[in-house]
Amino acid sequence: MAYLTLDRKKLKTNYDYLNKLFKSNGIEWAIVTKMLCGYEPYMQEVLNLGIKEVCDARISNLRKIKEMARDVETVYIKPPAKRAIGDIVKYADASFNTEFHTIKLLSEEAGRQGKVHKVIIMIELGDLREGVMGDHLMDFYESVFELPNIEVTGIGSNLNCLHGVMPSHDKFIQLSLYKQLIEAKFNRKIPWVTGGTSVVIPLIDLHQLPAGVNHFRVGETLYFGTDLVHQTIFEGMEHDVLRLYAEIIEITEKPVVPIGTMEANPSGETYEINEEDYGRTTHRCILDVGLLDINSDYLIPEDKTFEFVGASSDMLVLDIDDNDQGYKVGDLIPFDLKYMGALTLLNSSYIGKRVI
């Protein structure tokens, strides 16, 4: 059976790296746990690191965090759906918001639950996912400040997640200026400018992050050590906190060219035949993982001689040429992962999960 591992020591190495980086620059930070898909043993490893704030986009995951560590602050990091307002207030100490009507509902629900709910208002900086447009900002804040049971604790932004718009010094200067204008106009203190995500970390070393940006929320770089700007691994960080091991369930020498009339496969793909492949054979290796679990584009084989042939719902086929490595049925093949691959694996109930 294919299984995923989380390496406790490597996770701690990456956490210590980031914690030192942020502390030395006067930045608070939170860990984003949404990739863990609510898997409690992995979430417990994150909580054991000593983090005081956890962000997630699924309220069921924040409920588990509250059950596991009541004192950890929980933040819901997407605009709340109307039908989830009750649970948002119950399990999230704070939430990211862009709609006044939603914040009004949060205010009413917080009153019913006898709470004050914190809100971070997200500002549009160009990636065109969630965010209030800048020319509406002052009217928006004026309305929100009038609501009871609501505390505005931050102004935030998100970049790179939808259209790939990259962070820059100018964009964060703009975000910091918005905060200053709001504080000056309404005589209110806004503690946090939460502009930082994994893709923003390289700006710190480049000295391109304005001092006003004082809060980060980090997932991908914690788990993969990734410098998302330069597509490398930060020196001193580990890239394989998470790893997939898939079992070989067949190895057979077979023709390279399929035999018979071909149509598109169930995924809609058509196979292109190269003339030089006629008559050639190679060893094909089948693994016990498939499209239901992960797209092969998100897999990074440790053995760089592997060539992905294709996948069906439950099996992945590799070309291993002459099998000079001596692989046999039952062997486990290790893969490093890209973020979206780890996300789908963690969301699959068919993949085993272990802490090492």
The CA distance from 115 to 253, in Å, is 66
CA 21 to chain centroid, in Å, comes to 20
Per the listing, tokens 């992050």 go with: 209
Active-site residue identified among 10, 34, 78, 179:
34
**Are the CB atoms for 159 and 131 separated by under 8 Å?**
no
Known catalytic membership, residue 52: no
**Would you state the structure tokens that stand for residue 187, as one six-digit string?**
């005589």
**Are the CB atoms for 239 and 225 separated by under 8 Å?**
yes
The CA distance from 113 to 124, in Å, is 31
**Are the CB atoms for 308 and 287 separated by under 8 Å?**
no
Which residues lie below 8 Å from residue 16, measured CB to CB, with a gap of 6+? none
10 Å CB burial of residue 54 (0-12, 13-18, 19+) is buried
The CA distance from 335 to 324, in Å, is 19
10 Å CB burial of residue 105 (0-12, 13-18, 19+) is middle
Catalytic positions: 34
